[in-house]
A and B are shown apart, each in its own frame.
Chain A
Amino acid sequence: MSAEKCLAKGSAAPGPVPKDYIRVYSMRFCPFAQRTRLVLKAKGIKYETINVHLKEKPEWYLKKNSFGLVPALETPAGEVIYESAITCEYLDEVYPEKKLLPSSPFAKAQQKMMLEHFSKVIPYFYKIPMDRKKGEDVSGLEAELKEKFAKLNEDLVNKKTKFFGGDSITMIDYMMWPWFERVEAYQVKQFLDGNPELKKWTELMLQDSAVKATMFSPDAHKAFFKTFLDGNPDFDYGL
């Protein structure tokens, strides 16, 4: 995990990426950027991390990635890749050791379909705590998230596997993990109750070395998320 403070507007642009390395532009608490960092760790890729201030974005960063979001990858040749799913697929294609995506086109398509399903679940993690903060009634949203967790649980039950792509961790597990790491901070941990296979999956994920290398504790996530909800995210919290 990078101990580097984030670079903001006015900061000097970093130099080129050293040969044999790949660079990831990240933010320590960003779940999307964690996807890329998980893949980098899991595949044992040599990389360096530059954290970006997401509210005061450096001009040099917007030149590299006009969307201005993280994660983004940069190669020694200056090639820039962004969008978390695209970065992860790119890494799996370029670095052949420890393939995270299955080789069969159908199994690959199944992972992409699962990712698409999960993309519809992600907004609930934000909407529930944000609406709750505004004093709105979130019981409807919570019921819907509970149902989505139940579907994920059912998937594991039907497959009879420990992870979503089989009995070893594959790409889809890493793509979904970051939001489950934050269930306490998002105040949705209780919805794992009644979904024993999903709960077991989270416990297995917590034993994975890439997860251990990139995770933050529930308390750190809670502290960061509070600053995020208050509109003044402390990207360097804990440093």
Chain B
Amino acid sequence: MSAEKCLAKGSAAPGPVPKGYIRVYSMRFCPFAQRARLVLKAKGIKHEIINVHLADKPEWYLKKNPFGIVPTLETPAGEVIYESPITCEYLDEVYPEKQLLPSSPFAKAQQRMMLEYFSKMIGYFYRILSGRKNGQDVSGLEAELKEKLSKLNEDLVNKKTKFFGGDSITMIDYMMWPWFERLEVFELQHCLDGTPELKMWTERMLEDPAVKATIHSIDAHKAFFKSYVEGKPDYDYGL
């Protein structure tokens, strides 16, 4: 995990990426950026992390990625890749050790379809959070989220596997993990009641070395999240 404070507007642009390394522009608490960091760790890729101030973005960063979001990868050749699934697939293709995506086109398509399904779930997390913030009744949204989580649970039951792509961790597990890491912070932990296989999956994930290397404690997540909800995200919390 990077101990570096984030770079904001007015900061000097970082130099080129050193040979033999790949750089990831990140934010320590961002779940999307955590996907890329999980893949980098899982595959043992030599990388450096530059944290970016997402509320006060450096101009040099917007030149590299006009969307201005994280994660973004940069190679020594200056090639820039962004959007979390695109960065993860790129890493798996360029670095052949410990392939995280299956090789068969259909199994790969299945992982992509699962990711698409999960992407629709991510929306629920955020809508519930902003709904609560606005004092709205989110019980309907929570019920829908619970239903989607049951479908994931059913998937594990049907497959009879420890992880979503088989008995070892594969790409899809890493792509979904960051939101499960934050369930308690989002006060949605109870949505896992009634999904025992999914609960066991989270316990197995917590034992994975890449997860352990990129995880934050519940308290750190809670502190960051509080600052985020209050409109003044403390990207450097804990440093």
Q: Residues of A contacting B116 with CB < 8 Å? A: 83, 86
Q: Residues of B contacting A113 with CB < 8 Å? A: 81-83, 86
How far, in Å, is B102 (CB) from chain A's closest CB?
12
Find out whether the CB atom of B90 lies under 8 angstroms from the CB atom of A90: no
Q: Total A-B residue pairs with C-beta atoms closer than 8 Å?
A: 46
Q: Residues of B contacting A75 with CB < 8 Å? A: 106
Q: Does A82 contact B (CB under 8 A)?
A: yes
Q: Does B94 contact A (CB under 8 A)?
A: yes
Q: Residues of B contacting A86 with CB < 8 Å? A: 109, 112-113, 116
> Which residue, of B83, B113, B116, has the highest number of chain A Cβ atoms within 10 A?
B113
Find out whether the CB atom of B112 lies under 8 angstroms from the CB atom of A109: no
In the complex, how many residues of chain B place their beta carbon closer than 8 angstroms to a beta carbon of chain A?
18
Q: Residues of A contacting B112 with CB < 8 Å? A: 83, 86, 89
Find out whether the CB atom of A79 lies under 8 angstroms from the CB atom of B86: no
User: In whole angstroms, how far apart are the Cα atoms of A113 and B71 in the complex?
Assistant: 13
Of the candidates B79, B94, B108, B113, the one whose C-beta lies within 8 Å of that of A93 is B108
Of the candidates B94, B106, B109, B113, the one whose C-beta lies within 8 Å of that of A105 is B94
Q: Does A116 contact B (CB under 8 A)?
A: yes
Q: Does B89 contact A (CB under 8 A)?
A: yes
Q: Residues of A contacting B93 with CB < 8 Å? A: 105, 108
Q: Does A12 contact B (CB under 8 A)?
A: no
How far, in Å, is B158 (CB) from chain A's closest CB?
13
Find out whether the CB atom of A94 lies under 8 angstroms from the CB atom of B81: no
How far, in Å, is B82 (CB) from chain A's closest CB?
7
Q: Residues of B contacting A106 with CB < 8 Å? A: 75, 79, 81, 90
| Contact surface of A with B, Cβ cutoff 8 Å | 75, 79, 81-83, 86-87, 89-90, 93-94, 105-106, 108-109, 112-113, 116
* Sampled A-B contacts (10; CB under 8 Å): A75-B106, A83-B112, A83-B113, A83-B116, A86-B112, A90-B109, A105-B90, A108-B93, A109-B81, A112-B89
